[in-house]
Structure 1
Amino acid sequence: MNDTIETLLNHRSIRKFKDKSLSQKQIKTIIEAAQMASTSSYIQAYSIIGIKDATKKERLAELAGNQNYVAKNGHFFVFCADLYRHKLAGELEHIDVKQSIESTEKFLVSVIDASLAAQNAVIAAESMDLGICYIGGLRNEIEKVGQLLNLPPYVIPLFGLAVGVPENASNKKPRLPLEHVYHEDTYNKDKQEYLAQLEAFNETVSAYYELRTGGKRNDRWTEQIANMLAVPKRMQMKAYIESTGLKKT
């Protein structure tokens, strides 16, 4: 097994970092690694905003649901879907690109591009013995986040990424069994087999929580997910996305 595979297989989210800022060299390396991610048709439809200002980080932590590690980390990145530069590219070439960049297809491209870049950034950071935590909570107050970051039209803040030196190592959380996620040639729609796999995973997750919390928690994965999905969240997302000019058709 090589170092890259070991880094990938040892991933875990870190929510407590030492009080040590990333160096400019580390930040540059992470961004350069992110930029080398695959991008659809060379479109590069994303931007990354690094947050150094302590007051702004505190505000983002508040908007993300008072998550302390948004403010207390080595560096905080915000990954954005970004088709603003493509609007400017059209203007520069005197070509009307409005219908294209406002399409659902290009919205998906921008989200996928940003996600691929972010995962490259994560692998780069973890390879340097740094810890990371994705922050989807920025979408709790996505309009306020957009205003705080002074985002132009056709740009959406998708998620944050807290990076830093881990204070301590967290436990690696179990994942769904490979055979439940990986299908060959066709989707396996055998419901009974699917349910059996979920029940087996429930036992794994329940044991994980029980060990991690000293018996204070033993919820199953399907229980956790069903309860989460029972309460719709961030239902303002469609209106906000369309207000930026994206995903109109």
Structure 2
Amino acid sequence: MTNPLELLRSRYGEIPFNDELPWNDSIEKILSHRSVRSYLPDPLPPGTLELLVAAAQSAASSANMQTWSVVAVEDEQRKEELYKLANNQAHVKQAPLFLVWLADLGRLAYIAESRGLPHVALDYIELLIKAIVDASVAAQNAIVAAESLGLGTIYIGAIRKNTQEVATLLNLPPFVFPVFGMCVGYPNPEVKPAIKPRLPQPAVLHRETYKLAEQEDAIAHYNDIMKQFYTEQNMNVAGDWSEHSAERIATLDYLKGCKNLRQILNGFGFKLL
């Protein structure tokens, strides 16, 4: 078992607290998470996909409506198309399995219509939020399960830059929205990604009430930690985390195709009232 303090040091760039901590293999696996961008071509053992979906379906679901689905893509030609639509990220076509996680209100619409009932609640943004949350917690369960099996994963949000094209490629019906993709496969042992430090807990953990101003010191400290991380990883990255993040929201350049998402969702049937 990995030394808990050393693992926490990797996750935060320092040992964040020295208390005697409850610890087990599950916590170790979760804290060891890292994004994998290089995969072996080896196929997954039979039943792996179904087991990952079972783990995903074991996540919480709002009102048990289960408003998500997932499209499993293993066909090389279809992965090639998704690679192009996801900003040419090589791992999309390199991984043996690519999962597209969907906010799926189409199933509820179909059930209501088959019973002669309206589905006016689907016009409201609250239902879409529920579906996105359902898809997200299901996907994270799948990632925890995959990593417990020695697999690597990475989320691919770039599919939303070409949402309409992705929907056409996957034959998505109305009221179904591709939230993100996910690569799944065996990590290339020659490429060992580091655990990337996260913000100090004083920036994200608020006790009793939210306190924005009190995050300033923690954010400044994190900027230093990330500079050190970039140096250790031989990454030629100018500036700090705050600068990078602020620049991303300063203009619409970072959003690219996502800036028209409201119109695209309207085209999918979501009125977003």
TM-score range, shorter chain: over 0.9
Checking the alignment, whether the CA contact within 8 Å between 1:17 and 1:164 is kept in structure 2 is yes
User: How far apart are residue 248 of structure 1 and its match?
Assistant: 2.9
Amino acid aligned to 1:178: Q
Query: Residue 36 of structure 1 aligns with which residue?
Result: 58
Checking the alignment, whether the CA contact within 8 Å between 1:209 and 1:218 is kept in structure 2 is no
Q: Distance in 1 between matches of 2:170 and 2:51?
A: 23
User: SS of 2:194's equivalent?
Assistant: coil
Q: For residues 9-57 of structure 1, what are the alpha-carbon distances to aligned partners after superposition, in whole Å with 9 as ceiling and x for unaligned?
A: 0000000001111123111110110011100000100110000110110
Of 116, 121, 126 in structure 1, the residue corresponding to residue 137 of structure 2 is 116
User: SS of 1:172's equivalent?
Assistant: coil
Of 171, 175, 183 in structure 1, the residue corresponding to residue 194 of structure 2 is 171
Query: Residue 238 of structure 1 aligns with which residue?
Result: 262
User: SS of 1:163's equivalent?
Assistant: strand
Q: Distance in 2 between matches of 1:75 and 1:133?
A: 11
Q: Distance in 2 between matches of 1:247 and 1:184?
A: 37
User: SS of 1:240's equivalent?
Assistant: helix
RMSD between aligned residues: 1.2
Ranges in structure 1 where 5+ consecutive residues have no aligned partner: none
| Cα distance, 1:176–1:83 mapped onto 2, change above 3 Å | same
User: SS of 2:47's equivalent?
Assistant: helix
Amino acid aligned to 2:64: Y
Amino acid aligned to 2:247: N
User: How far apart are residue 224 of structure 1 and its match?
Assistant: 1.1
Amino acid aligned to 1:25: G
Q: Percent identity between the aligned chains?
A: 34
Checking the alignment, whether the CA contact within 8 Å between 1:207 and 1:218 is kept in structure 2 is no
Q: Distance in 1 between matches of 2:92 and 2:156?
A: 8
Q: For residues 104-150 of structure 1, what are the alpha-carbon distances to aligned partners after superposition, in whole Å with 9 as ceiling and x for unaligned?
A: 11010000000011000000000111100000010111110111111
Query: Residue 138 of structure 1 aligns with which residue?
Result: 159
User: How far apart are residue 210 of structure 1 and its match?
Assistant: 1.1
Checking the alignment, whether the CA contact within 8 Å between 2:74 and 2:96 is kept in structure 1 is no
1:18-57 correspondence to structure 2 within 5 Å: 18-57=40-79
Checking the alignment, whether the CA contact within 8 Å between 1:210 and 1:218 is kept in structure 2 is no
User: How far apart are residue 247 of structure 1 and its match?
Assistant: 4.2
Query: Residue 245 of structure 2 aligns with which residue?
Result: 225
Q: Distance in 1 between matches of 2:27 and 2:103?
A: 28
Of 110, 132, 136 in structure 2, the residue corresponding to residue 88 of structure 1 is 110
User: SS of 2:41's equivalent?
Assistant: coil
Of 86, 89, 97 in structure 2, the residue corresponding to residue 75 of structure 1 is 97
Deviating runs (4+, > 4 A) in structure 1? none
User: SS of 2:233's equivalent?
Assistant: helix
Of 33, 47, 54 in structure 2, the residue corresponding to residue 11 of structure 1 is 33
User: SS of 1:22's equivalent?
Assistant: coil
Q: Distance in 1 between matches of 2:52 and 2:160?
A: 23
Relative to the length of structure 1, the TM-score reads 0.95
Relative to the length of structure 2, the TM-score reads 0.87
Amino acid aligned to 2:90: N
User: How far apart are residue 66 of structure 1 and its match?
Assistant: 0.4
Checking the alignment, whether the CA contact within 8 Å between 1:209 and 1:219 is kept in structure 2 is no
Ranges in structure 2 where 5+ consecutive residues have no aligned partner: 1-22
User: SS of 1:213's equivalent?
Assistant: coil
User: SS of 2:155's equivalent?
Assistant: strand
| Aligned residues between the structures | 245
Q: Distance in 1 between matches of 2:113 and 2:267?
A: 21
Q: Does 1:102 align with 2:144?
A: no
